[in-house]
Amino acid sequence: MTSSTSSTIENPLNESLGEALGAIPSGLFIVLVQQDGKTSTMLASWVQQAGFEPPSVTLVTGKGRAIAESLTIGAKFTISILEKGQGKLIGHFAKGFAPEVDPLAGIDIAFGHNGQPYLIEAIAYLEATVTRMMDADDHNVLLAMVTDGNRFRDGEVAVHTRKNGFRY
């Protein structure tokens, strides 16, 4: 992060900018990837459809997050799309996990055609493969081709906003 960016974020005069950025709505998703017997998860809000042919999505990950090591070009993963009212599931994945802890312990999962787990309780899920990455200062933007997926039921997708657009 550049020093001008840091001073902008910390400047109390930019509180209204933080509130405005935080008003951008986003969904709530659980990103799952298994590699070499290790499961990495992330509660994500920066996921967006990015294309029709081929179907694709963007996913943004903070640099330094454990899952970032697994989400490299060619990596297969799933996105479980959460439903409004699934606060317990959201809370489970929001807390983060020590490396020796299985984040899927006690969670009902199934496996997609790409061999990656997804949450059975989700309203829908997507299977994807990372095709491109872009450096975005303190985050990475990943482009992923969607190869499969399913919507399990009707319902309202979980959407949230943040009080301050400079923090999760």
Q: Tens of pLDDT along 51-99?
A: 999 999 999 999 988 899 999 999 999 999 999 999 999 999 998 888 7
pLDDT tens, position by position, 119-161 = 999 999 999 999 999 999 999 999 999 999 999 999 999 999 9
Cβ 79 vs Cβ 29: under 8 Å: yes
CA angle 59, 27, 19 (to 5 degrees): 95
Structure tokens at 77: 């993963």
**What's the predicted TM-score (pTM) here?**
0.89
Cα distances from 143 to residues 16, 58, 68, 103, 168, in angstroms, run: 31, 5, 13, 25, 21
Cα distances from 117 to residues 9, 24, 76, 144, in angstroms, run: 37, 29, 10, 17
Omega of the bond leading into 54 within 30 degrees of 0 (cis): yes
Strand-strand pairing, 117-119 and 38-44:
unpaired
Banded pLDDT at 165 (limits 50, 70, 90) = confident
